[in-house]
Amino acid sequence: MQDTVTKRQFPAKIGPCRPCYAGRTEVADTSLEFDTGTKARLDAAAGIADYWVVDLASRTVIVFRDPRGGRYETRSTFRDHATIGPLALPTARLLPADLFPA
C-alpha cells in the first residue's frame, strides 16, 4: 500500500517557504509500534500537521496533531461512530466503523 501525502504551497505573497504537508495516513497491521513511534516522530519533525494511523487489530484510527519539536502534542484514538475530520478538508467526516467490515 502506498502512502498518500497532500501537498499545499503557500501563496507567493507570504514569501518564500517550504511546502506544507497537510496530512498522511498509515494502515497498521503488524507495524503499529513503528507507525506510532518512529514514523510519528519523523512526520512531526517534517511538520506534517495531521498524521493518522488506521489500527486494523483494534479497529481504531489514531490521530496525531500539533507537531512541535519533533513530536506530536496531541494523540487521539477514535473508534466505532466517533466522527473524525481531516484538517485539510474540515467539512469531510469519517466514522472509523465505516473502515471495517461488520
- For residue 102, is it within any domain? no
- For residue 101, is it within any domain? no
- For residue 100, is it within any domain? no
Domain of residue 54, residue span = 5-95
The pLDDT of residue 3 is above 60: no
The pLDDT of residue 9 is above 90: no
Distance CA 19, CA 10 (A): 7
- pLDDT, position 54: 97
- For residue 33, is it within any domain? yes
Helix or strand holding residue 74 (H, E): strand 71-79
What are the tens digits of pLDDT across the range 63-95? 999 999 999 999 999 999 999 999 988 899 999
Q: What grid cell was written down for 58?
A: 483494534
- For residue 42, is it within any domain? yes
Distance CA 15, CA 3 (A): 29
- pLDDT, position 21: 57
- For residue 32, is it within any domain? yes
Helical H runs in the chain?
32-36, 38-45
Tally of structural domains, the chain: 1
- For residue 11, is it within any domain? yes
